[in-house]
Amino acid sequence: MHAPRLIELDGVGRVFQTDEGEGVHALRDISLVIDPGEFVWITGPSGSGKSTLLQIIGCLDEPTEGVYRYAGSAVASLDDDGIASVRRDEFGFVFQDHSLLESATACENVELPAIYRAIDSRSRRRRARALLERLGVGKRAEHLPAELSGGEQQRVAIARALMNGATTILADEPTGALDSQTGDEVIALLAGLAGRGHAVVLASHDPAVANLATRCVELRDGRVVSDAPSGDRATSMASLPRV
């Protein structure tokens, strides 16, 4: 017997039924294994299935084909409560639009995922503040999202993603709304999380991710067309003739 892998997709497909009754094959036959400490860059053109893949990994959506196991459990075999608790405790999400609650302070936003857990409010607040400190926005804890820069908002969103002790961080185009320097800082923060043992899966067109990701998975029309250490891809792209 060997230890279960963290994320294991085996022949996963996702077909969306449209109103016209046609099936849109967003993902086809995806087999991937991702372990803690990896920083996986999911790339590919718009519509290639990146967001759908992240949603399935994060248990926000379910495959219509194949098997998805998380930490050794087939997600499809869990009941609704089981899926809800895996989603809440194992995954932290970071989106392009930071999706912070505008009426809540940075600190309250970070506390939010822990509200439904049995933690007293003082420890919750202490942990949220410590996370904001760690992400370099401790001084902004009492500010509303609208009072923060885009980069600060994304740091708060990362703190929120970590609040429940997530093993896996899923980031969908997290630098899409940022200037390149701020975007690079956010990518570096995510790389640091992988360095601390989180599995980080980041969907992005941003080529700056190549420098820090450990692995690059490229999708096209819902299929994996390459899966290689990230540096290899940067090298192979650099050697392509310019057209």
Identity of the residue, 42 or 213, whose beta carbon is nearer to Mg ion in the bound complex: 42
43 near Mg ion (CB under 5 A): no
Which amino acid belongs to residue 148? Answer: L
Structure tokens at 74: 């087939």
Q: Is 51 in the site for Mg ion (CB under 5 A)?
A: yes
Q: Shortest Cβ distance from residue 48 to ligand ADP (Å)?
A: 4
Under the binding rule (CB under 6 A), the answer on residue 13 touching ligand ADP is no
Whole-angstrom distance, CA of residue 152 vs CA of residue 113: 19
Q: CA-CA distances (angstroms) from residue 161 to 93, 183, 206?
A: 5, 17, 21
Residue 136 phi, psi (nearest 5): 80, 20
* Of 32, 48, 100, 161, the one binding ligand ADP by CB under 6 A: 48
Strand locations in the chain (E): 7-17, 23-34, 39-43, 65-70, 73-74, 91-95, 168-172, 199-203, 215-220, 223-229
Binding residue for ligand ADP, selected from 51, 168, 204, 230, defined by CB under 6 A: 51
Residue among 6, 28, 49, 170 that touches ligand ADP (CB under 6 A): 49
Q: Identify which range of 45-53, 144-152, 190-198, 205-213 contacts ligand ADP by CB under 6 A.
A: 45-53
Residue ranges binding ligand ADP (CB under 6 A): 16, 24, 26, 44, 46-52
Residue ranges binding Mg ion (CB under 5 A): 50-51
